[in-house]
Amino acid sequence: MTTAIDHRLDETFAALANPTRRAILARLAEGAATVNELAEPFEMTLPAISKHIKVLERAGLVTRAHHAQYRPCALDAAPLREVSSWAEQYRPVWEARFDRMETYLRTLDGDERDERR
Amino acid sequence: MTTAIDHRLDETFAALANPTRRAILARLAEGAATVNELAEPFEMTLPAISKHIKVLERAGLVTRAHHAQYRPCALDAAPLREVSSWAEQYRPVWEARFDRMETYLRTLDGDERDERR
């Protein structure tokens, strides 16, 4: 059974699985920018950057002004809040893992002390 | 410039962009399971499930025992901690967004009160 949130997470995760797209989001976190401005720091053609922006738009991560002449892009962080909530479910698992590792490291430490005696 | 963490995030996000793979992780959060046990709740063939598990293994989200006869799968939540940290960078952006929405809703509320007078 696939729910609406499942579908949204599919699109969001797929959009985030690319370093250029993540860099575009980091840039937009500082403020809106035109496609030309976004293309500057990357060694990419405008059509290649536009393609990435379209993927981000479909995932709801980027919105574009409809009326302004240069149609600046803006970040919509709402899907990232969903990503964070989704990942945070697993916090007890990764915290248990690091607790176990700490216990293990303390055991090693104890063994070393024993050896030094 | 693509860093090691960038490459890991690419693999993690790509692995997470699928509802079956996310459901497998949810099941494994309750404890280790064999491929047969993982296949049960899904209407999928064993080869299809195995393929999903391989994607999760490559992303470091699932580890498998090498010696045990049934090679049970276990969750490794470390990459999910990276996902959470990555998304949390944007918390100030989504919080600002909801603050703006709250201010806007309060404005609407004020207008309504004015109209009722």
Show the CA angle centred on residue B106, arms to residues B100 and A76, nearest 5°: 20
Q: Where does the pLDDT of residue A116 fall: very low under 50, low under 70, confident under 90, or very high at 90 and above?
A: low
Q: How far apart are CA B104 and CA B100, in angstroms?
A: 6
Residue of B nearest to A76 (CA): B94
8 A C-beta contact, residue B62 and residue B73: yes
CB B35 within 8 A of CB B51: no
- Selection from A10, A2, A66, A64 nearest residue A33 by Cα: A64
Tens digits of per-residue pLDDT, B3-50? Answer: 888 999 999 999 999 999 999 999 999 999 999 999 998 888 999 999
- What's the longest Cα–Cα distance across chain B? 77
The interface predicted TM-score (ipTM) is 0.83
Which tokens hold the place of A116?
């030094």
Chain B residues with CB within 8 Å of chain A CB = 2, 6-7, 9-11, 13-14, 16-19, 22, 25, 29, 75-78, 80-81, 83-84, 86-91, 93-94, 97
Which of A17, A77, A83 minimises the CB distance to B93?
A77
pLDDT in tens, A60-113: 999 998 776 778 999 999 999 999 999 999 999 999 876 776 676 677 776 655
- Which residue in B12, B18, B75, B93 has the most chain A C-beta atoms within 10 A of its own C-beta, making it the best mutation to test that interface? B93
Tens-digit pLDDT profile for residues B58-96? 999 999 987 767 789 999 999 999 999 999 999 999 998
Task: Quote the mean pLDDT of chain A.
Answer: 87
Task: Determine the residue of chain A that is closest to B94 in CA distance.
Answer: A77
Q: How confident is the model at residue B111 (pLDDT cuts 50, 70, 90)?
A: low
